[in-house]
Amino acid sequence: MINIDELEDRFSIEGEVGFYEGDGELIYISVCNKYADAEICLYGAHVTSFIPNGSFDLLWMSPESDFEVGKPIRGGIPLCFPWFGPHATDPSKPAHGFARLMYWDVAETASLENGETLVKLQLNASDETRAYWPFDFRAELSIIVSRTLSVSLNIFNTGSQPFEYSAALHSYFSVSEIKNVLVEGLQGVSYYNGFGNELTVQQEKFIKIEKEENRRYVNTNSECLIFDTIFRRVITAAKEGSNVTVVWNPWEETCAKMNDMPDDGYQDFICVEAVNAYNDTITLAPGAKHATTAILSSEFRKGEFDLGGNSGGFSVV
Ligand code: TA6
């Protein structure tokens, strides 16, 4: 049983880091510093909000999300580990692994010299995790709240045999309406479309979402820019330690089948995800570690918002 008073005693920082019982009686950390506000749910080590000063939330949360142990939270930044998507051989195991379905421990909080805030959460192998996956590991999620949000999933092999895993920081970005959105950064990159096995090279400079998209781009560590011409906001989704980027929007039909999203919820977000999967699964020898990091930020563009040629007429002046 998690004791909020104990967490407060050990890890709160006056005016900067606090703990509270929020949606679904789950336990959350709130972070507030001179750069931004953020909320992190200990269940799933799930960042549910990141609001840089003078801006509004970069992250979308489904108004119909479950907040219930045993079910994933819809929106924010779900952590996928130790597999991405359906389990390779056992469909009874949870999609996207078990990390987002477990309470994580708080390992550290710190006020950094420059006014940034560090929150470190941890999940260790246990009988519960071994029931899903037989390996000894430690997962650490380091979150630095600053003008940017840096979220780093560190996996350590603490056992005596090597293991292979896949993972993702499955960010849901909040947008004014999906029709106002263009994503740049994947031109010339090959992707698997939907669950197909054939690679297509993206010719266009921008992706415009006009139907269900589930594009799994391989061999790319580029940052993506998400242009929102009505919010006049550009979100930068940069990453490290990941060579796969997934761009996902369920569109109307799939969205309507999802119980934890309003029927028109697909209008309000786009997922651009830092992934290790497919030809970028990670193998760790005993004692080795790997970090997958997403670095998220945003800026508003005042005045001219002209994306130039090939942007499907997107131009706000
Ligand atoms: O990253 C895209 C994806 O794997 C899609 O296939 C879609 O199912 C989505 O993630 C959400 O998965 P979830 O298990 O959270 O419903």
* Residue 172 predicted with pLDDT over 70: yes
* Mutate-to-test residue for ligand 1 from 248, 271, 275, highest number of ligand atoms within 8 A of CB: 248
Cβ-in-10-Å burial (0-12, 13-18, 19+) of 205 comes to middle
The verdict on the CB of residue 215 being under 6 Å from ligand 1 is no
Please tell me the distance between residue 45's alpha carbon and the centre of ligand 1 in angstroms.
18
Measured from the CA of 96, which atom of ligand 1 is nearest? Answer: 14
The verdict on the CB of residue 85 being under 6 Å from ligand 1 is yes
Over residues 191-218, mean pLDDT: 95
pLDDT more than 70, % of the chain: 95
Dihedral pair phi/psi, residue 257, rounded to 5°: -85, -10
C-beta of residue 239 within 8 angstroms of C-beta of residue 152 = no
How would residue 142 be classed by pLDDT, with cut points 50, 70 and 90?
Answer: very high
* Residue 307 predicted with pLDDT over 70: no
Looking at the chain, how many residues does it have? 317
Please tell me the distance between residue 250's alpha carbon and the centre of ligand 1 in angstroms.
9
- In the numeric block, the tokens 């006049």 are attached to 232
Parallel, antiparallel, or unpaired: how do β-strands 269-276 and 282-284 relate?
unpaired
The verdict on the CB of residue 95 being under 6 Å from ligand 1 is yes
The verdict on the CB of residue 44 being under 6 Å from ligand 1 is no
The pLDDT, as a whole number, for residue 317 is 39
Tell me: the pLDDT tens digits for 98-137?
999 999 999 999 999 999 999 999 999 999 999 999 999 9
Average pLDDT value over all residues in the chain: 95
Active site residue 290: no
Tell me: the pLDDT tens digits for 241-285?
999 999 999 999 999 999 999 999 999 999 999 999 999 999 999
The pLDDT, as a whole number, for residue 232 is 93
* Residue 57 predicted with pLDDT over 80: yes
Nearest CA to ligand 1 atom 13: 95
* Residue 314 predicted with pLDDT over 60: no
Over residues 186-194, mean pLDDT: 96
Q: Which of 46, 87, 170, 213 is catalytic?
A: 170
The verdict on the CB of residue 217 being under 6 Å from ligand 1 is no
Active site residue 204: no
Over residues 180-191, mean pLDDT: 97
The verdict on the CB of residue 277 being under 6 Å from ligand 1 is no
Parallel, antiparallel, or unpaired: how do β-strands 289-300 and 233-240 relate?
antiparallel
Please tell me the distance between residue 85's alpha carbon and the centre of ligand 1 in angstroms.
6
The verdict on the CB of residue 214 being under 6 Å from ligand 1 is yes
Distance of CA 201 to the CA centre of its chain: 25
How would residue 182 be classed by pLDDT, with cut points 50, 70 and 90?
Answer: very high
The pLDDT, as a whole number, for residue 304 is 59
How would residue 194 be classed by pLDDT, with cut points 50, 70 and 90?
Answer: confident
Over residues 48-76, mean pLDDT: 97
C-beta of residue 33 within 8 angstroms of C-beta of residue 278 = no
Tell me: the pLDDT tens digits for 221-235?
999 999 999 999 999
Please tell me the distance between residue 244's alpha carbon and the centre of ligand 1 in angstroms.
15
The pLDDT, as a whole number, for residue 117 is 98
C-beta of residue 102 within 8 angstroms of C-beta of residue 7 = no
Q: Which residues pair with 305 in a beta bridge?
A: 316
Over residues 183-198, mean pLDDT: 94
| Range of lowest pLDDT (85-99, 167-181, 274-288, 291-305) | 291-305
How would residue 313 be classed by pLDDT, with cut points 50, 70 and 90?
Answer: low
